[in-house]
Amino acid sequence: MTVNGIDVASYQNSSYGTAGLGFVIVKATEGTGYINPKHAAQVATGRTHGLVVGHYHFAKAGPVADQVAYFLRHAAPQAGDILALDWEDTAVSAADKDAWLKQAQAAAPGHRVLLYCNRDFWLNRDRTSQCGDGLWIADPGAAAGHPRVEHAWTVHQYSETGGIDHDVANFADKAALRTWAAKGVAAPAYEPFPGASWFTVGRRSPIVAAMHDRLVAVGCDHYAGSANKDLIGSGDVASYEAWQRKYNTQHDKGWTGAALKWPPGKETWDALKVPNV
């Protein structure tokens, strides 16, 4: 389950539509010389309509500490607001990205801090997988809630329609998102390992469908299709065994034989991060 939201900047109206939304993330600043002139009004619209509010900073080349201070001063976040770094300028290094996130978390310890970037930056420019309290991934080529990244994600920007960027947050509902934003829970939550004996061919469960989606997302897709994806079948067996081989190689586990076979084990299950359903 996910929560619908949007992100806005000076290109959008201050009185944007909020029907069906649970959150809005508003551009506040860019570098150390630009403030979104509509920021205050756009934030006010979100608060008036009961949305979870976030603020983002577009990083430019230059001193990181100065940009963090500039952003926090002009964003003026309230308790429960989300903060985010927009990393899409090629002049900003992965090291600068990491430093910004770390310094923002230290300077605003009461707030969640996200990293926003597209798949190219995440897959080809990032070096550490550091994303603060969560990854806000831009992948407009993927269906809402199914970004094509292996890393666990918190927000997925999936489309732009009518001049508005649309997002979903990986939470059961707005209340769960609000609680997380206020640092009331450590989330998003993932399905706990149900035990090896649970994975019997023919079992039907929404957990199986969620597992299917994660296996596809991490590049271990040995499914013939998505029909009856909530039912454990041969595609799940082949796909999960591919995931165990991939995990084994990536982490130099040295597993052989039965350790690479069905059913799933707790370590690879926890690493797969199947969303709580």
Identify the CATH number of the domain in which residue 67 sits. Answer: 3.20.20.80
| Whole-number pLDDT of residue 189 | 62
Q: What three-state secondary structure class fits 125?
A: helix
Q: Is residue 237 part of a domain?
A: yes
Residues 121 and 226 in one domain: no
Residue 256, burial from CB neighbour count under 10 angstroms (0-12, 13-18, 19+): exposed
Residue 191 is assigned to a structural domain of this protein: no
Pick the last residue of a domain from 119, 154, 181: 181
**Residues 219 and 141 reside in one and the same domain:** no
Query: Could you tell me the residue range of the domain that residue 231 belongs to?
Result: 196-272
Out of 125, 149, 181, pick the residue that ends a domain.
181
In a domain, 209, yes or no: yes
Identify whether residues 45 and 123 lie together within a single domain: yes
Residue 160 lies in a domain: yes
Residue 128's φ and ψ, nearest 5 degrees, are -130, -10
Q: Is 217 inside any structural domain?
A: yes
Report the C-alpha gap between 258 and 248 in whole angstroms: 13
Which contacts (CB < 8 Å, 24+ apart) does range 230-236 have? 230/204, 230/205, 230/206, 231/202, 231/203, 231/204, 232/199, 232/200, 232/201, 232/202, 232/203, 232/204, 232/208, 233/201, 233/202, 234/201, 236/208, 236/211, 236/212
Residue 120 half-sphere exposure toward CB, CA atoms < 13 A? 6
- Domain identity same for 127 and 222: no
Identity (one letter) of the amino acid at 234?
A: S
Beta bridge partners of 4: 168
Name the DSSP class of 62.
S
* pLDDT at residue 131 in the model: 96
Residues 173, 42, single domain; the answer is yes
Domains: count for the chain: 2
Does residue 249 sit in helix, strand or coil?
helix
Same domain, yes or no: 173 and 212: no
Mean pLDDT by 10-residue block, N- to C-terminus, for the chain (277 residues)? 95 96 98 98 96 98 98 96 98 98 96 98 94 97 92 95 94 94 69 90 93 95 93 97 95 94 94 86
In a domain, 186, yes or no: no
Last residue of a domain, one of 146, 181, 216: 181
Residues 127 and 68 in one domain: yes
Same domain? For 113 and 230 the reply is no
Q: How many CA atoms lie within 13 A of 22 on its CB side?
A: 19
Same structural domain for residues 216 and 90? no
| Whole-prediction pTM | 0.71
Shared-domain flag, residues 89 and 170:
yes
